[in-house]
Chain A
Amino acid sequence: MTGLLRESIGRVLTLSPPESLTTAAAREALRSADASQTLFLVTDGATLSDLMSMDGWQYMSRAGLELVNPRIWGRTLYVFARTGLDSRLPLKGWIRWAGSTSPDVRDRAAAVMRRLGYVNVTFETMNATARMVDAFNRGGSAGGVDIVCIYDEEPSSTVDSFVTGVTGAKTGVRLLLLEPETNQLLVEGGVPAATMPYSAQRFYAWPAGVSLSATAPNSSVVVTPPPGAAPANEARLPLFLTNARRTKDLAKIENAWKIGLDRVVSQAYLRALFESGVSRCNERDPVSAAQFKTVLLSSFFASRDDPYAVVALTAHLEYARRMRTVEPGSADPVIALRKMLAAEQQLQGTDYSALVKWLKQKIGDRESNMRAQFAGYPDERIYRDAIAAMRAAVNESRPDERRQKLTQAHNGLVALAEAAPVSTCGLATPDRGLWSAIDFEPYFFLAVIDAMNSAETRR
């Protein structure tokens, strides 16, 4: 992947040969680095945490290094405050901190709030979105809360649901973001954090009811997990940092590419994964599969503002996240899927046959897409094949054959994602085709098929 990036960047800038360094050597190299020269740093999450804990963050900050691909591995801390709060008064807050359940997350959140000028916020942990919405709508003075922090990987259905809930109730909400400072990387209360350009955050189109803080247009806060908090299989893909913005080379690169650096990084990830084989996505390599999905979503999402797609993609991520957080061997994908569907689709089902029935119904809805066939969009044939495989799977009574057909359907949907016009592998595509159709959610079906495959395996 770094080779791909070097190839792309090398078309614009003259690059020195790459160097591989130990953590300590990297720290020294950063300490003596010429901040006027453009640097690229590729590392993994664990090494980055080690480097920062060795005061490397100071040198990275001085050099102006910024994380270009935080959403691949990092998670964004969204801080929502009721409008009209006096930041000097004691306030009550809830925090959702997905992944780690360490109690000190409340302290970390409070530290971040202090940086935002809210000096006396008491946090409790809360992961139930509906309760967050209710409490926030009531406000702290009426027994609710004034602040809600959501720390989640993106795109986050929690953020989406929360914003929908509070703006629907016409509660004034302000999204607080950290003002960019000279330190692009910082540590607060033991939490390594990185600021990133707000323009890179394109997951949500904030409704009118959400006002942004005065410093919002240029920055947001991305908090990387503390050392050890990230699942092992999420640390394999490299993080990409550069100070090109400070040295002005970023504008040169992006003007040459006519595309953002973060987008190219996402594409390079994806292309690297594809080049190593689509079979990696086939659950036989769970490490790559999880990353593939994340990158795929990231790449797909970066240019999307289709709310329906947000729901579909969020559903898949939600499913994947729940699967990762349950104890090995005790995961029940059917239950997880049912919860997800209940939340997203209001589906009531009690057993596997209900899911199959529901899936049949959903497939049937898409059977007569003759218009798409007539319109002749490039991905229509793949779409049709994927739907046919899904239909064959749900109609198949023999377990082995059903699993085989589900796998075929899964591969078809992955192929469809690969053919997505929103540049998966950096290739220009002539039409957006079915990705513009409002009734199509391949990622959602991907999640459903994953769950059914897992359920089949466990039966």
Chain B
Amino acid sequence: MAEIKAGDEINTGWWPESVRVVENTDQNNITSTAFTAGSPECSTTFVAPLSGRVAVIVGAEMRNEDTGNNRVFVTFEIRLGSVAGAVVQAAVNARGVSTTGDAQASQFMTHGNMSMVETLTPRATYFIRAMHHVDAGTLNDIGHRRICVVPLP
């Protein structure tokens, strides 16, 4: 392997920046049983590191105001480049958070989840946004959505 010479460009271990986005606009009386991004979206972009791996954090404040055992789920999806890009990580419940599903009205509860997304293309830009849906019911609300993306070795 050649030595580095004067004037050569030295890249650091090249870590793209960790990113964070928060949306505190209430999403009230959610009825969609299919994943939806809500309005406004809680979205941002990030650049994949050389490893192609990132940790994605989802945090949310949610409640179910009726007495049915309905849940609201908040998770994320990732697309290539922008919102119009191809889906590279579809929204799945297991990567996100949900309410309890007890047949009781709940107050707003808060917790989070974290998972790894792999095989991203190094240096490519990705679009990520929070996605949510309900089991059933008309009285599920979201008060806070948060997405963080941290590049991993």
Partners in one complex: no
